[in-house]
Amino acid sequence: MSEIMETVSRELGSDAVILSNRKVRQKGFNGLFSPQLTEATVAYDPQQTPAAKNFASNSARTWKPSLNPTQPSLNAPIPPHTSSNAPSSPSLPQYSGIRASEERAQKLLDNSHEQFTNLDRRISSLEKILSEFVNKFQYVKRDITYEYSNGVNELFMRLVAQQVDEALAHQIAKETDQLITTNPEVRSREAMEHLIVERLGPAAPIIHKKFTQKVVLMLGPTGVGKTTTIVKLAAEFSIKMKKRVGIINTDTYRIAAQEQIKTYSDILGVPLGAVYQMSELEDEIKKMADRELIFIDIAGKSPGDLQHREDIEEILKIARPEDVLLCVSATTNFSSMKETFDSYSYVPNYNILVTKLDETKYRGILLNICWYTRKRLSYLSIGQSVPDDIAEVKPSEIAGELLKDRGQPQ
Ligand SMILES: Nc1nc2c(ncn2[C@@H]2O[C@H](COP(=O)(O)OP(=O)(O)OP(=O)(O)O)[C@@H](O)[C@H]2O)c(=O)[nH]1
Ligand SMILES: [Mg+2]
């Protein structure tokens, strides 16, 4: 090493730096018998060694001095780059090395570090963009793997865009494919519409038979629109269908709730019974012996509330409602809605009334509900206006809405 240092200093100037060194053997058979060599990589500033300027454009090279320091070019593996303009010095040995002073090397290192950091940043941002892109088109990719035929793909996309559960949309698309394969005369849209209508099942509005009394119980989570819907239905049956209607309110511990339903029943001219304790329910029903339709309203509570469940079970036992309507809001996401349905599983039989459809443009939730619960839809509430904003369920219209061409998905 001391020989090398001496040679480097002499040949390349005192600023030259030895970057690394290692023991090597001469290549080939002779190398087995020759002594070990030391290979050094040296950096120096070509500006300070004018004679070496003609090497400046070359990349890093190694210099292998021989055992004899006076012949440093003996093992130089790379011939020096020569330029007709560049001065050559016969006194300089043919060596190679990184041509930069220590500061210059440091500067280069700093620069490249900065460049790497920038590059790293740009790669990270590209990665982000790419992963967003992949996420966005994931369902398209999954869809493509199914390769539905004859425009079924397009219809499938419309279902998903309407927030039909993807698993359900696939089921329907597959069945549509099978249907049009076995019945080539049927168009894909017709086939899919048929399958949707089948899944929605027939609507289940309240049907009142003459000379009978029917009790209708309205259930559902807090604030979904139970009371408002009862008032709409009471108006529909009393004003339009000329039925004798009564309302029993069991939501009596909230003054506001009592006032709300009292105001409406006064306007409609419909008698209102109030139940403060479940033991009073039977008497209140008896008081309404002349009523053809009795609607029972209950307080909104979390469906998991045990007292609430006991109260409902008590009402079911005493009032024996022929129709139970479970009220859910279309603005609730499907996962939370499933929880609601699960928590009312103790109710033996009910139909579903969906409110607040005016607050969402998606109709997929209606199909999801029927698919998940296997229950039927009774009415749709489509606004706050009493008594107008209530509509009967028309499965073919819902299917039409779900498959409507709305142009390019956003
Ligand atoms: N946009 C819209 N609002 C509705 C609809 N139905 C009810 N509402 C509104 O929802 C709010 C709650 O309605 P309520 O009828 O008091 O709901 P509830 O289920 O009886 O509430 P609780 O008794 O507190 O559980 C009110 O502001 C209603 O006007 C509907 O179809 N669309
Ligand atoms: Mg209410």
pLDDT at 3: 84
Query: Residue 408 burial by CB count (10 A; 0-12/13-18/19+): exposed, middle or buried?
Result: exposed
**Cα–Cα distance measured from residue 86 to residue 125, given in angstroms and rounded to the nearest whole number:** 45
Distance 221 CA to ligand 2 centre (A): 10
- 258 & 306 share domain: yes
User: Domain boundary at 54, 70, 100, which?
Assistant: 100
Which ligand has an atom closest to residue 380 CA? Answer: 1
pLDDT at 280: 95
- 332 & 239 share domain: yes
78-116 per-position pLDDT tens digit = 444 433 344 444 444 444 444 556 677 777 778 888 888
Is the pLDDT score of 63 beyond 70?
Answer: no
Distance 319 CA to ligand 2 centre (A): 19
Query: Residue 366 burial by CB count (10 A; 0-12/13-18/19+): exposed, middle or buried?
Result: buried
- 196 & 247 share domain: no
Q: Is there an atom of ligand 1 within 6 Å of 356 CB?
A: yes
Is the pLDDT score of 53 beyond 60?
Answer: no
List CB contacts of 303: < 8 A, sequence separation 6 or more.
221, 339, 340, 343, 344
Specify the number of domains making up the chain: 3
Average pLDDT over residues 370-383: 97
335-354 per-position pLDDT tens digit = 999 999 999 999 999 999 99
Q: What is the number of the ligand 1 atom nearest to the C-alpha of 251?
A: 23
Q: Tell whether 238 is covered by a domain.
A: yes
Q: Is there an atom of ligand 1 within 6 Å of 222 CB?
A: yes
* Residue 316 identity: L
List CB contacts of 329: < 8 A, sequence separation 6 or more.
221, 223, 224, 225, 354, 355, 356, 359
- 225 & 164 share domain: no
- Of the two residues 161 and 89, the one the predictor is more confident about is 161
Q: Is there an atom of ligand 1 within 6 Å of 250 CB?
A: no
Q: Tell whether 356 is covered by a domain.
A: yes
Is the pLDDT score of 27 beyond 90?
Answer: no
- 153 & 255 share domain: no
Instruction: Kindly indicate the confidence band of residue 134, based on its pLDDT and cuts at 50, 70 and 90.
Output: low
Q: Tell whether 162 is covered by a domain.
A: yes
- 223 & 283 share domain: yes
- 222 & 347 share domain: yes
- Domain range for residue 173? 138-200
Alpha carbon 100 to chain centroid distance?
54
- 312 & 373 share domain: yes
Is the pLDDT score of 378 beyond 90?
Answer: yes
Q: Is there an atom of ligand 1 within 6 Å of 355 CB?
A: yes
Give me the sheet containing 351-355, strands edge to edge: 272-274, 245-249, 293-297, 214-219, 323-329, 351-355, 377-381, 390-392
pLDDT at 410: 44
Instruction: Kindly indicate the confidence band of residue 161, based on its pLDDT and cuts at 50, 70 and 90.
Output: very high
Distance 193 CA to ligand 2 centre (A): 36
Q: Is there an atom of ligand 1 within 6 Å of 258 CB?
A: no
Q: Is there an atom of ligand 1 within 6 Å of 232 CB?
A: no
- 261 & 389 share domain: yes
Mutation to probe ligand 1, out of 226, 228, 297 (largest number of atoms < 8 A from CB)? 228
pLDDT at 337: 96
- 255 & 292 share domain: yes
Q: What is the number of the ligand 1 atom nearest to the C-alpha of 231?
A: 15
The average confidence (pLDDT) of the chain is 83
Q: Tell whether 398 is covered by a domain.
A: no
Q: What is the number of the ligand 1 atom nearest to the C-alpha of 389?
A: 31
386-400 per-position pLDDT tens digit = 999 999 999 999 999
Could you list which residues have their CB under 5 Å from ion ligand 2?
226-227
Do 399 and 200 touch, CB atoms closer than 8 A?
A: yes
**Cα–Cα distance measured from residue 66 to residue 81, given in angstroms and rounded to the nearest whole number:** 21
Q: Tell whether 80 is covered by a domain.
A: yes
185-234 per-position pLDDT tens digit = 999 999 999 999 999 999 999 999 999 999 999 999 999 999 999 999 99
Tokens coding 209: 């038979």
Query: What is the pTM for the complete model shown?
Result: 0.67
pLDDT at 54: 47
User: Domain boundary at 52, 82, 100, which?
Assistant: 100
Q: Which residue is closest in CA terms to ligand 1's atom 17?
A: 225
pLDDT at 253: 79
Q: Tell whether 401 is covered by a domain.
A: no
Q: What is the number of the ligand 1 atom nearest to the C-alpha of 257?
A: 23
> Considering only 56-60, 125-129, 196-200, 300-304, which range has the smallest mean pLDDT?
56-60
- Of the two residues 375 and 256, the one the predictor is more confident about is 375
List CB contacts of 88: < 8 A, sequence separation 6 or more.
51, 54, 82
Q: Tell whether 175 is covered by a domain.
A: yes
Q: Is there an atom of ligand 1 within 6 Å of 106 CB?
A: no
pLDDT at 214: 98
What is the CATH number for 270? 3.40.50.300
pLDDT at 39: 83
Which ligand has an atom closest to residue 229 CA? Answer: 1
Phi first, then psi: give them for residue 103, nearest 5 degrees. -65, -40
Helix (H, G, I), strand (E, B), or coil: what is residue 288?
coil
Is the pLDDT score of 133 beyond 80?
Answer: no
Q: What is the number of the ligand 1 atom nearest to the C-alpha of 382?
A: 31
